[in-house]
Structure 1
């Protein structure tokens, strides 16, 4: 099953130019086969025992004391439902992309990257040990880097992909340290063996185990955009909208929650408390940051951060079942919302081509929209269904999953004898109100009122008869329908009556889980349901009365209005609490200054010293060369000349004339006599 999308990636990446007309449908065919296999695995594992296939991978060390590493596939209920989720949404996104990405110059490369990402997600789900899971984890990060920066010719897209990649690496460092810590204690990465060890021993009092758990959680903080590393997710909206639906709503960002669920047994109570607090802060911060956004995709991105905070909070308070339930319901209605945003953006592109200065108009700014309920009625209907899901209204899936988490937080706080623990459920309920407010605001800006640009709204339609391509509408409708509660529970007001959450198939019971006697308190469920519904309706009502009479003028583009809110508090939340600026001034700029200082030191000091030594060597070599040439060689030449001169002199003395010999002998005798007399 893992090889199918990977083969799709290889074929389209290396031979895509030879398949200009059929590459997209080849990718859809492989995605369909993967989905069929996922359904088969789900049917075998949901009501049956786990299937574990394992083989020897490699060994380190000598044969007597070697460390043996295994690789394998673990198929259980959690893996089965996650495989269905990933392959189903991947299939719908690829179908949607046929029309949305039509005409793109890198069309087949886009589908190749989708295949690579799907294969990476499947490898995470199937992995039976943490080492394999980490390899798939890194491959997902690489595939998301390629997809976020797909339009790399845009500076914003290339910067967003790099930002996402680097911030995820920060979390992955902690994850890797956690894996090393686990292996140092238990000498295995195998999830089955580790779960058995923790279930039998329940070693919950170790400070080292707490650090290991926090290390594992760091991976989730990066990948699932938890506070304070959530800053990469809104910028990642620079990628194509179907990519946002796939990796930033349904699958990649949910990988962190999946990791926490897989490793739930390894977390001590102290680690779980930290996880609950971080998830709680993330849910609140994401909701606050979404309040005043104007980009249709960034609103959904901050909403994703908030909902991921709900999931992490549920795991921290001891109910991973509820978190996984919300992960599944959220995947469907959030993917639907992103694809709906894609239809709206696509329609804006189609209509704005009629304007002479269309390049200056932001297609994604909700202040440029309005009145689309009449122009895009099917899209509007699908939006209402997904809206009910994410807000958590009764009869929708979000109501069931949020109630499961919120009631668990309330029960968890009640089980502790300290009022501070009630901050967790209180902030959770505040996040419910925030979600209802900003989603209603988006609904009003996009679909109600009048269209605000000076062009005929009918130009936004795909054709006279169709508001959008059927290939785009069908996936959206399917995902929107899955936002209804009837798909998950017989009783739309009780999640435990359903086949998914109430069956307790997803995770084996573990000692740290919230006691069932507390979690199953029906009074808490009733109070939670009533309070969350009241808060959701209050958020909807407040947003309706605040924005129903918009002061935006017809024909005035969004660029004519302030880019940021004037109110300092609103601007504070709009800028995501200035976290980007904080990181820029405390980490990025010091790192750049340090890099420049190191470069300057290298250039001026180290290179200067080397240049000085080089010049000294050259000067010394020249002095030595002059000394060698003029003194050493000169002395040798002088001795040679003198020897030659003496030879020539001696040769002249041997002239062969007898009188000369007598004269030379007389002179020699005189020199001898004089030397005797005077010396």
Structure 2
């Protein structure tokens, strides 16, 4: 089908028109706000929110068209390479299936709520319009990833998301920490992207196409003799997920990325950027061999455990949530590796709601701390994000506290909450996968998954107790933290938080709050119908797996809550003593080891950064002393040689020429003197000449 026919097909298809409009709307918003934002200082936020609302409506309409209908694929020739006899055609297109439809709704909905929240949170910032412009660019980049029908287009959107996240993380670039964090995130993501790019090249070398539909068809008839090559390709693709979704050992950028505005943290680290890696695994799931999936499962499990351990002793309210995000992303990747991609996608969606709620709640708390502490004479010494400076906020911020409890139930995985359904689906799948291997070592993966559930319950309960229970630990009236006497926070901040918290309830996803398969999203291969999930069948046939994992995960979650409650319930810091008076790190060496994220930053600094800097200094020294020295030496020789040659030229060459000229001139003068005009002189000269001739003849 030619390009004209494709354009005609899109124009005749309502879904195609909506998809094109969905891609353009946030990008146009970005262009308007970026170039004309200074002329719209007070209207830019509402323009961004309006375009965000339009994007969500378009996504929802697409969802209603696709979810109960058939997938739609629009594809046209993008460009061609080669001669007329042998050309390589590269296509571009839009792929709309159930997975894309759900992700579009998720991304645009979360983005819309965060834009609404940002109107109040970022009000008064000197780069207010630029902030909303970056949000539009980020949303457009995520939509381009979801709509892409081939890996080359997906990679372009992938890189654009990385660039937009760099802009948002370093939005307050005047702060040195924010500038460093944005650069760190950008560079570490590029490391993963190198592997992704190599994987793409490997796929194209093998199948001569980037088209996802064609690749899925090709893998159904793949040659078993090239399984090692396919494993390497799959691991290359997984490298992109390791970088973008903060998997071990490249997760070090995510906690530092908290330097960006809190709504940015909610957008990037809850539902969109970090979820892109899991989405990539889902799109490319058919490309992974069993060996590649095993490595993916191991990496995901290690990430879930390391993120949970690192969060145990953190004091920054946002860093706790950042490490929690790392752990939950590890859960999702573990589900992918154990052969249950639908469960991972289900957890991606549930996690987006309660994690976005938790980040925005942290934003409300930080905003309240700013408001109260600005009146104190020592406010510059107080860390507004340190949970040790908080306490008792459930009385001051009651609506925020209730929303936190709902999101808390979701992330911990308590019954009647969405996190219970999605975590149970992943753990049940991991257990069924381990049973199918006939090797007890494989049970380490679900076992570590259960340990991660315990850790999540502990550190989230710790945060809950520090922030909302006990007494307020600073020497000021807690009422000053409220937005006003009647309102604890701006309505524009509370509405998104309440909506996201309500979506943490299990009833939104399933009629039976104890069985995810009874819902509309998980259990019937709705998200990935092209890949029959054998684990779902195994779990359905062996109901004991589901009961066992549900009981054990709930028991461990309650145990983690109880342990944290008994450890911290009586914790009261002295009134007026600020967190800066305490040690920034735990005194216990084991606790410090997890607090410092297992010294991965120090390891990279020692193993890579310092050698690179030392190599750079060595190269600079070699360049300055050796290369430049040789150049200067040869230059000096050239100058000296030029001076010698110039001296020789002046003394000898010019001297000889000048001598000949002088001699010629002298002869000319002598000849001129002989021509006096006297006849007797001419006679005398002739006689002398004759005598000389005769004399010479006689001599010879």
Pick from 548, 554, 557 the counterpart of residue 536 of structure 1: 557
Query: Of 263, 269, 278, which aligns to 1:248?
Result: 269
Q: Would the aligned equivalents of 2:525 and 2:532 in 1 still touch at CA under 8 Å?
A: no
Match of 1:497 among 518, 539, 542: 518
1:453-472 deviation digits (Å, cap 9, x = unpaired) = 11110000000110000110
- In structure 2, the CA distance between the partners of 1:202 and 1:403, relative to structure 1 (3 Å rule), is farther
The yes-or-no answer on 1:54 pairing with 2:75 is: yes
Number of residues paired by the alignment?
Answer: 679
Distance change >3 Å, CA 86–CA 162, structure 1 → 2 = same
Q: Distance in 1 between matches of 2:198 and 2:215?
A: 17
Secondary structure (helix, strand or coil) at the match of 1:592 reads helix
Structure 1 residue 216 and structure 2 residue 237: aligned? yes
Matches within 5 A, 1:144-543: 144-201=165-222, 203=224, 206-510=227-531, 514=535, 516-518=537-539, 520-543=541-564
Mapped to 2, the partners of 1:207 and 1:200 lie a distance apart of 16
Partner SS state of residue 455, structure 1: coil
CA deviation profile, 1:167-206 (whole Å, cap 9, x unmatched): 0011011111111111111111111111122234485961
Secondary structure of the 1:60 match is: strand
SS at match of 2:76: strand
Q: Match for 2:32 among 11, 15, 23?
A: 11
Residue of structure 2 equivalent to 1:616: 637
Aligned residue number for residue 97 of structure 1:
118
Aligned to 1:85: 106
Compared CA separation, residues 441 and 330, structure 1 to 2 (3 A): same
* Contact 1:160 1:238 (C-alpha < 8 Å) held by counterparts: yes
Q: Deviations over 1:589-647 (max 9, x none)?
A: 11111112222222222222222222222222222222222211111111111111112
Shift of residue 520, structure 1, vs aligned partner: 4.8
Change (3 A) 1:204 1:32: farther
- Kept in 1, the 8 Å contact 2:340–2:533? The answer is no
TM-score, normalized by length of structure 2?
A: 0.95
Q: CA deviation at 1:45?
A: 1.1
Asked if structure 2 preserves the Cα contact closer than 8 Å seen for 1:300 and 1:338, the reply is yes
Quick check: 1:600 aligned with 2:621? yes
Structure 1 counterpart of 2:17: none
Deviations 1:408-447 (A, max 9, x none): 1111111112111010011000000000000011001111
Counterpart-to-counterpart distance in 2, 1:640 and 1:246: 90
Change (3 A) 1:191 1:383: same
TM-score by length of 1: 0.97
Distance 2:672 2:697 in 1: 28
Contact kept, 8 Å, 1:333 with 1:480, in 2: the verdict is yes
State the distance in 2 between where 1:231 and 1:373 align: 32
Unaligned runs of 5+ in 1: none
Q: CA RMSD in A?
A: 1.6
What's the secondary structure of 2:583's corresponding residue?
coil
Q: Does 512-521 or 194-203 show the bigger shift?
A: 512-521
Aligned partner of 2:16 in structure 1 is none
Matched, 1:553 2:578: no
